[in-house]
Amino acid sequence: MKTCPIHSPEGILYSVLLELQARHHASLPATTGHLTHAMFHQLLMRIDPAQSRQLHQEGGHRPFTLSPLLGGQRKDHRVIVSEGVTYQIRITLLDGAKGGHVPCD
């Protein structure tokens, strides 16, 4: 996992690149945003349960963005992943979110 602070006049952005390795060959739905969102909250829950609950319950603006799975082969509204291959998900956190402290097992 890599974190890169980006300084701007409005504060600091943190870009976290999670690297995930496929255990098996699989065909996933092309839209996995809800799964990525759930994973992010599970990781944050390990660090700061109150922050995770607050972010989950707030409406409107969120201080983070989540990418789709990066690197998979797109085919017929699916994403194909291959066993042993590493893929990525990018999490971008705005200043004040838990940047640089997401655990990786």
Answering whether pTM is above 0.75, one says no
**φ and ψ at residue 48, rounded to 5 degrees:** -150, 85
Q: Tokens 């996933």 sit at which residue?
A: 28
What pLDDT band is residue 87 in, cutting at 50, 70 and 90?
A: very high
Kindly indicate whether the domain formed by 2-94 is annotated with CATH number 3.40.50.170.
no
**How far, in Å, CA of 79 to CA of 76, rounded?**
8
Q: Tokens 């599970």 sit at which residue?
A: 42
**How far, in Å, CA of 86 to CA of 20, rounded?**
5
pLDDT tens-place string over residues 19-76: 999 999 999 988 878 888 888 889 889 988 888 888 878 777 788 889 988 998 998 8
Q: Tokens 């201080």 sit at which residue?
A: 63
What is the residue extent of each domain of the chain?
A: 2-94
